[in-house]
Amino acid sequence: MHDPNFLQTLWFALIGVLWVGYFVLEGFDFGVGMLIRALGRDETDKRMIIHTIGPVWDGNEVWLLTAGGATFAAFPGWYSSLFSGFYLALFLILAALIVRGVSFEFWGKSDSPRWRSTWEWTAVIGSLLAALLWGVGWANIVHGIAMNAHHDVTANLLDLLHPYALLGGLTTLSLFLGHGAIFLALRTRGEMAARARAVAARVSIVTVALMAAFLLWTGFDQDRGGVKIAAELIAALAVALAAAVPALVRRERDGWAFGLSAGAIALLFASLFVGLFPNALPASNHASDLTLAAASSTHYTQTVMTVVAVIFVPIVLLYQGWTYWVFRHRLGRDDFEGSLTPIAVLSKLGGKEGDGQDLGDGQPSRSTAPPLAPGS
């Protein structure tokens, strides 16, 4: 059997949604992490930057864990080929994610300038490497990888670093950097927001060029039955959304800019998933392509997974949406000057209710919740 059935197609689409959610949400985390030292002029600035993602960054990574777990359960053949063949590359990504996570936790544990500088650099490097390597990895998945008839990946780490894959890495790096800068503009006020917009305006222009080049190359790279029209249309829409971002940033329409930036990321990866279908992992010689049908678990397993997903996914989405709503308050230097205990921050922000601070699109902030982060 070569064509996937309904449940196999459904779970491939759901896994795609999980990856899209991860890159949209963790994408701005990566961008913020890369900008800690570039935009942070002093410790107050850096504390403010870290606190913009403090309540949400670890929750965003749940999307990655869920995507990996869903792949293992729904398509064990895909999981085994991917995680064994890309073992070293995925280990490097894991190391980068661990380093950046530890950095956020440890930064506030000491007032030593050397201590804080060290963890700032590890956050920058960890965020940069993760943003780059995810693009390299997914470009290789779409391009096709050296694989034998048993679906064992025979490529090594150096084989993954070809020009097309590196262009994919630079595309995601630029996308996430701009996405993070827009998020900072949306979540801060004053000089920090202005500096973030300046970075976002410059980076977003580069992003359009890189994304257009990568997706054009992707279209010509699909040599199995010609370019898929659906993937091509989605890719064109992704570039169009990205192209609209610079003008919105210059007009300080932070909410719209962030929404279109998120849409560009979502459509980029949606186009890649559409281009993959009906394969899970294409081979470079195409005779050994791993199809979704061949990689799939049993019908019963996917049926049980569907029931569980229908019950619990809405609950998770509601909870995460509530978290973002609670921590929607714009941050400024006055929120972090003076006493820096969590109770002091809570007391400060409690007095801001109804102060009418603009969220960038005419929406006043009325949240009283503290932007607490690990290591406050």
In a domain, residue 362? The reply is no
Please, are residues 81 and 290 in contact by the beta-carbon 8 Å criterion? yes
Instruction: Specify the 3-state DSSP secondary structure of 16.
Output: helix
What end-to-end distance do the CA atoms of the chain give, in Å? 56
- For the segment 273-288, the average pLDDT, to the nearest whole number, is 85
Assign 217 to helix, strand or coil: helix
Residue 219 lies in a domain: yes
Q: Decide if 222 is inside a domain.
A: yes
Beta-carbon contacts of 324 under 8 Å, excluding residues fewer than 6 positions away, are 56
Angle between helices 254-276 and 6-34 (to 10 degrees): 140
Mean per-residue pLDDT for 280-284? Answer: 85
Position with higher pLDDT, 364 vs 189: 189
Q: Using 50, 70 and 90 to split pLDDT, how confident is the model at 321?
A: confident
Domain membership of residue 73 (yes or no) is yes
Task: Map 347-361 to HEC letters.
Answer: HHHHCCCCCCEECCC
Helix axis angle, 113-143 to 6-34, nearest 10°: 150
| Model pLDDT, residue 359 | 38
| Confidence band, pLDDT 50/70/90 cuts, at residue 170 | very high
Number of domains in the chain: 1
Query: Which range marks the domain in which residue 274 is found?
Result: 6-339
Whether residue 346 lies inside any domain: the answer is no
Decide if 1 is inside a domain: no
E strand intervals along 153-237: none
pLDDT exceeds cutoff 90 at 4:
no
Pairing of strands 290-291, 279-281: antiparallel
CATH classification of the domain holding 109: 1.20.1630.10
| Cα separation values, 191 from 39, 195, 238, 303, Å | 10, 6, 31, 52
Other Cβ atoms within 10 Å of 298 Cβ, number:
10
Nearest to 178 by CA among 262, 117, 85, 102: 262
The confidence score (pLDDT) of residue 361 equals 45
Q: What is the mean pLDDT of residues 142-169?
A: 86
Phi, psi of 147 (to 5 degrees): -150, 140
Confidence class for position 36, pLDDT limits 50, 70, 90? very high
Of the listed ranges 193-202, 223-232, 340-349, the one predicted with least confidence: 340-349
The pLDDT confidence band at residue 111, using thresholds 50, 70 and 90, is confident
Residue 359 in any domain: the answer is no
* Inside any domain, residue 120: yes
